[in-house]
Structure 1
Amino acid sequence: MSIAPAPPPGGPPPPGRRQRLRARWADRHALPRFGYWLLSRGAAVLTVCGALYVLDGFLIGWANAYNVMTGITSPADVRPQWCAWPLSLTGWAVIPAIIGAAAGYVITEQIQAHHVRELSDVLDELHRLAERPGPPPSSGGGA
């Protein structure tokens, strides 16, 4: 039985967890545009929205925070109002904008995926399909 030799000392050490995370963070530019935005700027926007919701949850109650954010309850009906108004604006403008941007991006990507053929190729195929067919093939047996 032979034992595999140990790797020679002095070779590069295997990458550590920090190096692997740093490499993955550097690879974020290879993501699609929406994925890149979500990791870079979207994470900050969603963090601010979440922090605002948590702050309001502790100050005005979780049910009231949800109702204010979704527009069920007016921010003027809860106390303290100073934190309810930004939450209401976030629920009214920021969250729908993020959802709309995500939907628009997905729809745009699907449309672009179906437009990969050149117009000249499509027209050539249409001309070929529009040509008159040749005579039908003759049958082998005469009757």
Structure 2
Amino acid sequence: MSEPVTVPLKATWVERTRDMFRSLSRLNRPRYWLVTRGPVWLTVFGLLYVVGGMVLGWRAAYEVLVGLQSPGDTDLPAYAYVLGWLLVPALIGGAAGYLVTRQIDRRRTVDAEELLAQMRREAGPSPQPPQIRE
């Protein structure tokens, strides 16, 4: 007589959610960042824009963000400087720097440690510092 066939239990929503988050590691680094960290940054950016819209006015907040209006020309220049001249360049510069570094690392054929060891070999032994005589 054969053994009875057992049907595996359906995964619970907790297990499915856990498996979904674990499977994110298969994404490449920019996509992984966009899925895991991007929503947080986008939420913070959106909140700053909404607060800017309420404080500065929606049109002024938009114009400061896209660079059409100087932050000094608004009703509250301190907040406008943070919104337009610090936040936007920081986000764009951070993203560009990350992507450029990623492309450089992808094209690097020699490991950094190996390159440093090669440079030390080619430079030869370091000379001894001169002795001070009294």
Q: What TM-score results when the alignment is normalised by the length of structure 1? A: 0.56
Alpha-carbon separation, structure 2, partners of 1:62 and 1:97: 25
Corresponding residue of 1:16? 12
Which letter does structure 2 place at the counterpart of 1:82? A
Which stretch of the first structure deviates more once superposed, 80-89 or 26-35?
A: 80-89
Which letter does structure 1 place at the counterpart of 2:61? A
Alpha-carbon separation, structure 2, partners of 1:17 and 1:101: 38
Q: What TM-score results when the alignment is normalised by the length of structure 2? A: 0.59
Q: Secondary structure at the match of 2:37?
A: helix
Alpha-carbon separation, structure 1, partners of 2:22 and 2:68: 42
**Cα offset, 1:23, TM superposition:** 1.1
Query: CA RMSD of the aligned region, Å?
Result: 2.8
Q: Which one has a bigger Cα radius of gyration?
A: 1
Query: Aligned pair count?
Result: 102
Query: Is the alpha carbon distance of 1:73 and 1:26 closer, same or farther for their aligned partners in structure 2, counting shifts above 3 Å?
Result: same
Alpha-carbon separation, structure 1, partners of 2:38 and 2:12: 28
Query: Is the alpha carbon distance of 1:13 and 1:101 closer, same or farther for their aligned partners in structure 2, counting shifts above 3 Å?
Result: farther
The structure 2 residue matched to 1:43, chosen from 35, 39, 52, is 39
**Cα offset, 1:55, TM superposition:** 1.2
Preserved contact between residue 34 and residue 105 of structure 1 (Cα < 8 Å): no
Gaps of 5+ in 2: 108-134
The structure 2 residue matched to 1:90, chosen from 87, 90, 94, is 87
Spell out, residue by residue over 1:48-72, the C-alpha distance to the aligned partner (whole angstroms, 9 max, x if none): 2121111111221221111111111
Alpha-carbon separation, structure 2, partners of 1:95 and 1:43: 13
Deviant stretches of 4+, over 4 Å? 101-106
Alpha-carbon separation, structure 1, partners of 2:38 and 2:29: 11
**What is the percentage of aligned positions where both structures have the same residue?**
30
Which letter does structure 1 place at the counterpart of 2:87? T
Alpha-carbon separation, structure 1, partners of 2:87 and 2:65: 7
Alpha-carbon separation, structure 2, partners of 1:42 and 1:59: 25
